[in-house]
Amino acid sequence: MRGPHNIIRLIRTGATLERTGAMNVVLDAFEAPRALRIVAHALGKPFQFLGYKGDPKMPPATRALTALGPAYIKFGQILSTRPDVVGEELAAQLRVLQDKLPPFSRGEAMAEVQKELGQPVESVFEEFSDPIAAASIAQVHKARLVSTGEYVAVKVLRPGIERAFKKDVDAYYLAARIIELFAPGARRLRPMDVIEHFDGVVRGELDLRLESAAASEYAANTKDDAGFWLPPIVWSLSARRVMTLSWADGIPLGDNAALDAAGHNRRDLAERVLRLFLLHALRDGFFHADMHQGNLKVAANGDIIAYDYGIMGHIDEYTRRVYAEILFGFIRRDYKRVAEVHFEAGYVPANQDVDEFARALRAVGEPIFGMDASHISMGRLLNYLFEVTERFGMETRTELILLQRTMVVVEGVARSLDPRMNIWEVARPVVEDYIKQSIGPRAALKDLGKTARVLARFGPRLPGLVENALIAQTQNDQPQKSAFWSTVLPAAVGAAAGAALVLLLNALS
């Protein structure tokens, strides 16, 4: 429940921030005004003795969030990908958060598995290891199936994690309200939206059935992508709090020494991980939104293996086309077209000047293109682009921010493998191919066919629509007559034309 009782949780949070030295770091990152600073220190300083000490070896913000527990660690991980919200310095601190926590016991994990699957663990697994990885929400065990002898990975949610997260998220909502009340200038950062986004991400991760479904959809989309593989889900051994998938060994994508020793081509891996991300985002509109090194490994045959599907990004087809045109315009350095796309999509208000906007975009793009290949950054470009569009009145687009933050992470992974990689040269063929497929005569015919099929579905309703309109017309009801000419008749004609077009398209195919 969101209410005043959450003040106690905020006091404990404030006390921990004060005790670890993180309070001023956080307030400075958010450029907090005086009123908010007074409130924050009032909730923390007098109660420092209630705060957790944390690990003094860690940076202040990381130390505080780690001490406060799993919900705060997860929140910090998400904020680390939002330098637009917390600033570059704090985002850099939060990136050092390790995705490792003290595990819960093997016995507790086995009890959770037995409860969820409804059968004794021994009847399903002849081996069940101690935890091999422990994160903020769940941990993973290696197990061996009784039925086939196959090794699998079993992901189990932490006991009581749902309740713990709910309590902390409730306090976050109260904190966001306080920020909006005492720091009107911070409203541009949309603190409530940030918390709602975090809440939605966590809710998705707390139901492993949703993660299993996401993994299944992702695997279906990418089954023909060369050099990429996902461990199959074992549906019969997966439930709300347990997810089982085939075991997949590999070298972590961040271990360059091991990759070199195994003879893998790091330049090829760098280019492939970037191409795959763009391909999934543009072609499928469904992409892995947490592609850091910890979730990517390289199999012995060179395939990239992706893990952890709790955070996936969705982009509708129209937004994909807009994004592709924006990227393509920058690649060609056609800033006028990039500006026009923003106006056509309604991202920038029509009362702004398109030529002035194009000049602002040129000021963003040209310095980046003038850099050495090793310094060209698509993530930096998108960050600058959002700064410019904000000045021209563009509202925050949540789906594009998720895409941007993932792009930054993927670019970082690629750069760690090959610091000299030219981002634009790798991206160009993927974007150009998508443009050819989605924008042009062939795409127009495809869109027309989809529209026709939608219109054709209204065919069975046409007689009733026409009959009702004619009855209304004979009653000399002028408004109804007007409605006939303005709505019913065009709909009828459109549906008839659509049905005819569907038949034509089917005949041609």
- How does DSSP assign 34-58, residue by residue? HHHHHHHHHHHGGGGGGS----TTS
Cα 190 to Cα 394: distance, rounded to the nearest angstrom: 14
Neighbours of 4 (CB within 10 A): 8
Helices H, strands E: what count in the chain?
A: 24, 10
The torsion angles phi and psi of 105, rounded to 5 degrees, stand at -70, 155
Question: Residue 508 pLDDT > 50, yes or no?
Answer: no
> 37 pLDDT exceeds 90?
no
Q: What is the mean pLDDT of residues 260-286?
A: 94
Q: Running DSSP on this structure, what letter comes out for residue 236?
A: G
Residue (of 341, 313, 330) closest to 439 by Cα position: 341
pLDDT score of 476: 58
Residue 5: predicted pLDDT: 66
Cross-strand pairs, 305: 229, 297
Question: How large is the average pLDDT for residues 375-394?
Answer: 71
pLDDT at 72: 83
With a cut of 60, say whether residue 17 has pLDDT above it: yes
Q: What is the dihedral of CA 394, 398, 400, 404, to 10 degrees?
A: 110
Q: Kindly state the average pLDDT of the residues 271-275.
A: 94
Give the three-state DSSP class for 97: coil
Q: Which of 66-80, 218-232, 282-296, 332-346 has the lowest mean pLDDT?
A: 66-80
Q: What's the confidence (pLDDT) of residue 501? A: 47
Q: Among the listed ranges 75-84, 128-137, 144-153, 406-415, which one has the minimum average pLDDT value?
A: 75-84
Q: Which of 198, 201, 200, 206 is nearest to 162 (CA)?
A: 206
d(C-alpha 166, C-alpha 162), whole Å? 6
Confidence band of 504 (pLDDT split at 50, 70, 90): very low
d(CA 51, CA 9): 11
Helix, strand and coil in the chain, % to nearest 5: 65, 10, 25
How many C-beta atoms lie closer than 10 Å to residue 509's C-beta? 6
pLDDT at residue number 402: 73
Please check the confidence at residue 319 and state whether its pLDDT lies above 50. Answer: yes
For the chain, the distance separating the N- and C-terminal CA atoms, rounded to the nearest angstrom, is: 58
Query: Which of 84, 168, 225, 290 is flagged as catalytic?
Result: 290
- pLDDT digits 0-9 by tens, 323-350: 888 888 888 889 999 999 989 888 888 8
Contacts of 483 (CB under 8 A, 6+ apart): 469, 472
Burial class (CB in 10 A: 0-12, 13-18, 19+), 439: middle
Most confident of 3-7, 292-296, 447-451: 292-296
- 312 backbone dihedrals φ, ψ, rounded to 5°: -120, 145
pLDDT at 202: 79
User: Other CB atoms closer than 10 Å to residue 91's CB: what's the count?
Assistant: 21
The number of angstroms, rounded, from the C-alpha of 191 to the middle of its chain's C-alpha atoms is 18
Q: Tell me, what's the pLDDT at 33?
A: 76
> Which band of pLDDT confidence, cut at 50, 70 and 90, is reported for residue 201?
confident
Instruction: Quick: pLDDT tens for 108-130.
Output: 999 999 999 999 999 999 999 99
Residue 450's pLDDT is 64
More confident residue, 108 or 437: 108
Residue 216 has pLDDT above 90, yes or no: yes
Band (pLDDT 50/70/90 cuts) for residue 449 is low
Task: Quickly count: other Cβ atoms within 10 Å of residue 284's Cβ.
Answer: 17
pLDDT bin (cut points 50, 70, 90) of residue 285 is very high
* Range among 166-170, 365-369, 389-393 rated most confident: 166-170
290 is catalytic: yes
Q: Is it the case that residue 487 has pLDDT exceeding 90?
A: no
Could you give the count of Cα atoms lying within 13 Å of 469 in the half-sphere of its Cβ? 18
Residue 216: CA count within 13 A, CB half-sphere: 12
Digit-coded pLDDT (tens) for 40-49: 888 788 888 8
Beta bridge partner(s), residue 157: 138
pLDDT at 116: 96
> What's the pLDDT at 495?
52
Q: Would you say residue 229 has pLDDT above 90? A: yes
Banded model confidence at residue 396, pLDDT cuts 50, 70, 90: low
Q: Is the dihedral of CA 441, 445, 450, 456 positive or negative?
A: positive
Residue type, 422: N
Q: Across all residues in the chain, what is the average pLDDT?
A: 81
Residue 208 predicted with pLDDT over 70:
yes
pLDDT range class, residue 281, cuts 50, 70, 90: very high
> How confident is the model at residue 509, as a pLDDT?
47
Distances (CA, A) of 286 to 141, 210, 281, 411, 506: 28, 14, 6, 18, 29
How large is the average pLDDT for residues 8-18? 85
SS3 395: coil
